């Protein structure tokens, strides 16, 4: 429908509190990246996703917080009947669907990079 699902980082997140971002999280030892993405979305939003495509890894530099992460983003869609909801309110303050030409502010650094590099592919879904 030309919209993207974003979540606003909550008060107990490790960085970029209050920023809107693509959902994500950490990878557990021995876990495949796709499995980690699916698990994180289920834990944080109680919803199942289907992975469509993996984008190249990006350096996620947060200069103000002196942090450097390596982010691997996936283009995914929620499975039919799977409706996301906030499961961890300390990590997520708000969620929503947004048109690519009307995004909330502020966006996280990595979400800005993802949109800059892949917005054409994202808008096709």
pLDDT tens-digit profile of 54-107? 999 999 999 999 999 999 999 999 999 999 999 999 999 999 999 999 999 999
Tell me if residue 45 falls in helix, strand or coil: helix
Task: Return the residue matching tokens 């995914």.
Answer: 76
Average model confidence (pLDDT) across the chain: 94
Question: Is residue 4 predicted with pLDDT exceeding 80?
Answer: yes
Tell me, what's the pLDDT at 78? 96
The pTM of this model reads 0.91
Residue percentage of the chain with pLDDT more than 70:
100
Question: Is residue 125 predicted with pLDDT exceeding 80?
Answer: no
Task: Return the residue matching tokens 């699916």.
Answer: 38
Name the token pair of 46. Answer: 């109680």
């Amino acid at each position: 429908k030309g919209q993207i699902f974003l979540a606003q980082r909550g008060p107990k997140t490790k960085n970029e509190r209050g920023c809107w971002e693509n959902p994500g999280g950490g990878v557990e030892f021995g876990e495949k990246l796709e499995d980690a993405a699916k698990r994180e979305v289920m834990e944080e939003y109680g919803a199942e996703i289907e992975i469509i495509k993996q984008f190249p890894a990006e350096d996620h530099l947060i200069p103000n917080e002196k942090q450097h992460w390596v982010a691997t983003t996936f283009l995914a869609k929620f499975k039919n009947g799977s409706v996301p909801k906030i499961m961890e309110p300390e990590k997520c303050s708000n969620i929503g669907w947004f048109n690519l030409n009307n995004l909330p502010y502020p966006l996280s650094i990595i979400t800005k990079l993802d949109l800059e590099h892949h917005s054409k592919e994202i808008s096709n879904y």
